[in-house]
Chains A and B, each alone.
Chain A
Amino acid sequence: MLFNSLTFVVFFAVVLALHALPLPWAVKKTNLLLASYLFYAAWNPPFIVLLWISTVLDWYVARWIYAEERPARRRLLLFLSLAGNLGILGYFKYGGFLLENWQEVMAMAGIAYAPPDWSIVLPVGISFYTFQTMAYTLDVYLRRERPASSFLDFALFVTFFPQLVAGPIVRPADLIPQFATPRRATAGQFIWGLGLASLGLFQKVVVADTLLAPSADTVFRAAQGLHPLDAWIGVLAFSGQIFSDFAGYSTTAIGVALCLGFSLPDNFRFPYAAIGFSDFWRRWHISLSTWLRDYLYVPLGGNRKGRGRTYFNLMATMLLGGLWHGASWTFVVWGGLHGLYLAVERYVAGRFGGRPTATRPWSRVALALLTYVLVNLTWVFFRARDFPSAWRMIRSMLGVAPEAQRVLYWNGIIAVTVVTAVMLLVHWRMRETTLAAVVERTPAWVIGAIWAAMVFGVITTQGSGNAFIYFQF
């Protein structure tokens, strides 16, 4: 079920009420587990079986790995877990993509191959919970963590509804211990949690769905070259939309969990104020970027095996990160561009010594804006339906598209311009601080007025009912 739905409001009210009852902690955890299954089944009940498979597989395999001393057997057990998790992910998410590409390879070889129909529904959030369970087994294999002592705690770790379908991708060490002892939000935590949930929903339904999505959709739906203003506004709109949509989900998830007394890690830290791309990836989808760093980049050798291998590792990590987002070559190119940016940044930093971070304020602003513009170019490939559409958009942005047309009305252009300007300003001002610190030093009546305005904004949009973009990943 969607956070921005009446169904969730009722569901969450019931969950909070059950959590507040004077029941044994094990019963409360069981309630949370059942609620999480209900939350997931509200989309498509049969897919709950996939969650169970993932839970049972990694519960047993991690215990066997922990008890096993023989390296070959440990590797075999790890392979079993990875094959199970990645097999499910591959079947549902990449099966059609692989068949299409196989068909093209066959066609190049002159063989007419007709793949079977692959109209399989993608289980929502499968990439998120698959990575979360894989982190558990990998941590045990790498001897970073012991297996969970309670099946209930582990099942809840896999299924915990606030972050089940779109993250943050929580590490076992960050969440499983929280289930060990009774938890209930303090009044302060509860209010802070509700505030975060309100902020997240405002980002999603007001900023992403209402102010930005219409312009982004119009521009990326266009089948012809566009006037440069339209192309840029469309890309800026999507840039803001995907941040507001995804950060909105994460913020809501963190707020919802906090209302229940649980702490989830930050997933975004004002990424559009990033100065450079390594800085960007420390601020954007942090739980994924750190996952890729810890379970892919570092095991590949990271930066410990020479310059050439470092660049290869960077690129491989980002290409796979791109593919994680979707079964399409456009996502791979998106990841590849980020890999290229990171590699160039690393080269420049090495060439000139140290990090390429300027110290003068205007230089920092200029570098941040350059980072923002280059990130926007990558969003073209992320959002475009296919490569011809992406190239058409790039040409339109450069003002060289033939028969360029206008498709946006001033209403949309003004909305996107204002939101983008405000968003960049907020990210820049918040770059070196945190939301909690700012709230701490702001008068209570100002916070109250902003909070009321955000909730009123959500009410006036009447909830868009649109799914979060990242659910499809």
Chain B
Amino acid sequence: MATLLLTAGWELYWRGIGFVDHDYVDTPGLWAMERRRATGDRTILIGSSRTYFDINPRIWAEQAGGGEPIQLALVGTSPRGNLTELANDTTVSGLVVVGVTPGIFFRTRRGYLADFPDRAAKETPSEWLGQRLLMRMENLFAFIDWDTQLGTILERQPLPLRQGLILDRAVRKISVTRAHRHTHLDPRILRDSAYRQLARDIWMDGTDDPGRPPTPPADSVTATIAELSRDIARIRARGGDVAFVRFPSSGALRELERRNYPRERYWDRLAGELDVAAIHFEDFPALDAYEPPEWSHLSREDAERFTRALVPILMDSVARRRAVREGSRP
């Protein structure tokens, strides 16, 4: 009885803060459920968190026709490994849309959810069932989330920094994830200015750390492009295609990206040297009209509008590229 009362109080506390039920924790099991659907000519979305937040799969399906795209983006993780894995999968023959967040995409470290595909591939029967049971619990309880775990709460207690350590806070909950990993920005970011500012501050944590890894040199970009080129060729050989999208950012984060990853040294090389559709939001007024509230991700409403604007531009570019390629064949 005491446990039930404590748990009920815990649930009410987190609901009061804004946590909701039917909001799924992004686990290897949840990713695996989508990965298993990513076969045939289905459109697949890979990338990091901006691909996850800024595309609304329902609007995409309305605009592009066919089914909803499969959401396989991984927050804080470069999609290059995912693209290689999809290129190796002979059952994948659709359009793969790759989100490019320069600071994540070009770095050599794959990112902190990079083990998801491997863990998904090795999912045990117990984990398979556990994921489904977890989702049943998440349908009932709002408090099931990374942010509400005891360990996370203890880790976030503000204590003085020890000499030599830098403030490197983990990203707070800024998303709500529904079935099929359909994700949108947590409304709390919009209505709570202090929380929004905290999210912005966390993006900037450690950016002035002298020990921060330097931006990748030009030769590593060349190697990245060669790797991408091989993966694209394999997907195209099966009738599929690949497109790249640079999603909006704003504020100090956009300035940081411009400074550390100048467009001409990174994005322009990728778009110019790979024969693919490559959509940078700055190149299209219809896509450059959005202001991510916490500098990195669009609000739910803006993501819907952005998707509505993006899909025709992207599909047209993919079709034109394909026509040129096929027209140029002997």
User: Which of A126-134, A345-353, A408-416 lies on the face that meets chain B?
Assistant: A408-416
Residues in A1-46 with C-beta less than 8 Å from chain B: 1-2, 5-10, 41-45
Give the residue among B1, B3, B148, B160 with the most A Cβ atoms within 10 A. B3
Q: From known contacts A43-B126, A415-B154, A460-B10, infer whether A410 and B159 are also in contact, taking CB-CB under 8 Å.
A: yes
> Is A102 in contact with chain B by the CB < 8 A criterion?
no
A452 B149 Cβ-Cβ under 8 A: no
> Is B165 in contact with chain A by the CB < 8 A criterion?
yes
> Is A455 in contact with chain B by the CB < 8 A criterion?
yes
A6 B130 Cβ-Cβ under 8 A: yes
Residues in B106-158 with C-beta less than 8 Å from chain A: 124-127, 129-130, 133-134, 137, 144, 148-151, 154-157
> How many residues on A have C-beta within 8 angstroms of the other chain's C-beta atoms?
41
> Is B212 in contact with chain A by the CB < 8 A criterion?
no
Q: Which of A10, A449, A457 contacts B2, CB < 8 Å?
A: A449
Q: From known contacts A409-B161, A456-B3, A460-B150, infer whether A6 and B10 are also in contact, taking CB-CB under 8 Å.
A: no
SS class, residues of chain B in contact with chain A: helix
User: In the complex, what distance in Å separates the CA atom of A456 from the CA atom of B9?
Assistant: 11
> Is A439 in contact with chain B by the CB < 8 A criterion?
no
Residues in A436-470 with C-beta less than 8 Å from chain B: 448-449, 452-453, 455-457, 459-462, 464-465
What are the residues of chain B within 8 A of A214 when measuring CB–CB?
Answer: 151, 155
User: In the complex, what distance in Å separates the CA atom of A408 from the CA atom of B162?
Assistant: 8
> Is B328 in contact with chain A by the CB < 8 A criterion?
no
A462 B149 Cβ-Cβ under 8 A: yes
> Is A406 in contact with chain B by the CB < 8 A criterion?
yes
> Is B7 in contact with chain A by the CB < 8 A criterion?
yes
Closest partner residue, chain A, to B28 (CB atom):
A465
1/0 contact string of B37-49 vs chain A (CB within 8 Å): 0000000000000
What are the residues of chain B within 8 A of A461 when measuring CB–CB?
Answer: 149-151
What are the residues of chain B within 8 A of A256 when measuring CB–CB?
Answer: none
Closest partner residue, chain B, to A459 (CB atom):
B7
A406 B165 Cβ-Cβ under 8 A: yes
Closest partner residue, chain A, to B159 (CB atom):
A410
What are the residues of chain A within 8 A of B156 when measuring CB–CB?
Answer: 411
What are the residues of chain A within 8 A of B165 when measuring CB–CB?
Answer: 406-407, 409
> Is A210 in contact with chain B by the CB < 8 A criterion?
yes
Q: Which of A9, A42, A411, A449 contacts B125, CB < 8 Å?
A: A42
What are the residues of chain B within 8 A of A9 when measuring CB–CB?
Answer: 133
What are the residues of chain B within 8 A of A409 when measuring CB–CB?
Answer: 155, 159, 161-162, 165
Q: Which of B3, B129, B157 contacts A452, CB < 8 Å?
A: B3
A7 B3 Cβ-Cβ under 8 A: no
User: In the complex, what distance in Å separates the CA atom of A125 from the CA atom of B151?
Assistant: 28
What are the residues of chain B within 8 A of A45 when measuring CB–CB?
Answer: 125
Closest 6 CB pairs of A and B: A452-B2, A42-B126, A1-B126, A6-B133, A410-B159, A210-B151
Beyond the given A7-B127, A210-B151, could you list 6 further A-B residue pairs with CB under 8 A, ordered by the A residue number? A43-B125, A406-B162, A411-B156, A411-B157, A459-B3, A459-B10
Sample (16) of A-B pairs whose CB atoms are under 8 Å apart: A2-B126, A42-B126, A210-B151, A405-B164, A406-B162, A407-B165, A409-B161, A409-B162, A452-B3, A456-B7, A459-B3, A459-B7, A460-B150, A461-B151, A462-B144, A465-B130
